[in-house]
Amino acid sequence: MSTVMNESPATEMKDRSAYSPGLEGVIAGESALCLVDEGEAGLLYRGYPIRELAEHSAFEEVAYLLLFAHLPNRQELANFSAQLIDRAVLPRLLEVFLGAVPSDAHPMDIVRSGVSLLGVVDSDTADNSHEANVYRSIGLLAQIPLMIAASYRLVTGKPRRRPHDDLTFAENLLYLLTDRREDDQAKAMARVLDVSLTLYAEHEFNASTFAARVTASTMTDLYSAITSAIGALKGPLHGGANEAVAEMFLDIGSRERAETWVREALVKKHRIMGFGHRVLKKGDARSIIIQRHAESLSRICGDHRWYEIATTVNRVMEQEKGLHPNLDFYTAVAYLLMGIPRELYTPLFVCSRITGWCAHVIEQQDHNRLMRPRALYTGPSRRDYVPLDHRS
């Protein structure tokens, strides 16, 4: 028989440390990259309001800001954009890998494995200097869209596309995924896509970013940290929300069905995707920005169905649950209008958030301390060991 002692290590730990499930509200580190605020500021990237960046800057400027800590001048932006075009080439090993993946492979698995393979072909992965990591970050920003588009086109039997020197990052991304680039609608779509990339680029210590920083704190290479982040983003509670919202809109089908559909779902206690946020309890400033652009794009495309469904669902959810839409909700409207395949919505998230992830990895390793939190023990108290032959 084992003897259970009265003193519990769990009790002792409870006395000296507060536990917050999911680390909610816990300050886990310092960062100069992003301020998530429910006040007037809404969201700041290195001090700049997200509203102003989305309205006046291209995504390339925002990516430069996150990586270099200042907004670029015209020459710096031109050089940065040229680097993105020059480095939009996949190594031979990646081409072989993309040609060999099963047709039913999850796109996020392809991206995760592709980034890991980039670490294999980089002969300098042991160099964790600031300069080396910035250089790798630019490479990832240039190569990940190619990786996503190439794998999708191989599976669907479509011809490969190459980025064009005269297109912006968002214009090239839209072209790689949908073949659209010349007409007025394509220009409008690319502008809204650019805004969405800016809005998704960074959001403090979310699950994938925190995973990247924990991995980076071991002083491993940047590719390993980004692979961790992609693995975390793949989870449906983090990165798949805009895809789930789009599927909901498709299931609803029309504005006339929307209110009944939502109310029936609420009665059945089904989760309505695209609402609420762990940090932003009073609403997501990014949602207001993308909603305006989704409405504008609906007018330009002459297709109001998705926006009308969305606004109806939005109204019912605010009435019944007091919940506000997050960024994913109206982004799904925009992506449906663009004709982007739904299975690529989360990989598209990677094309944007790679900037924030890399900036966090660089920041972590520039001022590193190994992350090693404690756990609140909930197992049995100390028990006496019983030799094998004496156990009943």
166 and 271 fall within a common domain: no
pLDDT at residue 110, as a whole number: 96
| 328 is an active site residue | yes
52 and 179 fall within a common domain: yes
Lowest mean pLDDT across 92-101, 226-235, 279-288: 279-288
**Is the model more confident about 17 or about 142?**
142
Task: Compute how many other C-beta atoms are within 10 angstroms of the C-beta atom of residue 329.
Answer: 27
289 and 315 fall within a common domain: yes
160 and 178 fall within a common domain: yes
**Residue of 277, 293, 324, 360 with catalytic role:** 277
230 and 248 fall within a common domain: no
Average pLDDT over residues 179-185: 91
**Considering the domain boundaries, does residue 14 fall inside one?**
no
**Considering the domain boundaries, does residue 212 fall inside one?**
yes
Average pLDDT over residues 167-172: 97
User: Token match 């309001």: residue?
Assistant: 49
pLDDT at residue 278, as a whole number: 66
**Considering the domain boundaries, does residue 7 fall inside one?**
no
- Joined tokens for residue 55: 């309205």
Give percent of the chain with pLDDT exceeding 90: 84
**Residue of 122, 194, 221, 328 with catalytic role:** 328
pLDDT at residue 13, as a whole number: 45
pLDDT at residue 11, as a whole number: 46
Q: Which residues contact 179 (CB under 8 A, 6 or more apart)?
A: 158, 161
245 and 229 fall within a common domain: no
Residue 152 zone, left/alpha/beta (φ > 0; ψ -120 to 50; rest): alpha
**Considering the domain boundaries, does residue 310 fall inside one?**
yes
**Considering the domain boundaries, does residue 388 fall inside one?**
no
Give percent of the chain with pLDDT exceeding 70: 93
* 112-130: burial string, b at 16+ Cβ within 10 Å, e else: bbbbebbbeebeebeebee
171 and 186 fall within a common domain: yes
**Is the model more confident about 236 or about 324?**
324
**Considering the domain boundaries, does residue 23 fall inside one?**
no
pTM: 0.92
In the predicted structure, residue 86 carries a pLDDT above the cut 60: yes
4 — pLDDT class (breaks 50, 70, 90): very low
pLDDT at residue 1, as a whole number: 40
204 and 147 fall within a common domain: yes
pLDDT at residue 5, as a whole number: 41
pLDDT at residue 59, as a whole number: 98
In the predicted structure, residue 368 carries a pLDDT above the cut 80: yes
- Joined tokens for residue 170: 């968002």
Average pLDDT over residues 180-198: 95
Q: Which domain holds residue 329?
A: 241-338
CA 344 – CA 96 distance, rounded (Å): 21
Question: What separation in angstroms does the CA of 8 have from each of 3, 117, 375?
Answer: 13, 47, 14
112 and 130 fall within a common domain: yes
pLDDT at residue 366, as a whole number: 97
- Total domain count for the chain? 2
**Considering the domain boundaries, does residue 378 fall inside one?**
no
pLDDT at residue 256, as a whole number: 96
In the predicted structure, residue 311 carries a pLDDT above the cut 50: yes
| 277 is an active site residue | yes
CA 327 – CA 365 distance, rounded (Å): 30
What's the CATH code of the domain at 130?
1.10.580.10
214 — pLDDT class (breaks 50, 70, 90): very high
Average pLDDT over residues 64-93: 97
Render pLDDT for 8-49 as a digit per residue (tens, 0 to 9). 444 444 444 588 888 877 888 999 999 997 665 679 999 999
pLDDT at residue 17, as a whole number: 59
124 and 208 fall within a common domain: yes
Phi and psi, residue 38, nearest 5°: -90, 0
**Considering the domain boundaries, does residue 260 fall inside one?**
yes
302 and 226 fall within a common domain: no
CA 158 – CA 153 distance, rounded (Å): 5
pLDDT at residue 9, as a whole number: 46
What's the CATH code of the domain at 298?
1.10.230.10
**Is the model more confident about 1 or about 202?**
202
CA 335 – CA 320 distance, rounded (Å): 27
User: Token match 């980004």: residue?
Assistant: 226
Q: Average pLDDT, whole number, for the chain?
A: 92
190 and 57 fall within a common domain: yes
CA 299 – CA 339 distance, rounded (Å): 16
Single out the residue in 318, 338, 358 at which a domain terminates. 338
In the predicted structure, residue 124 carries a pLDDT above the cut 50: yes
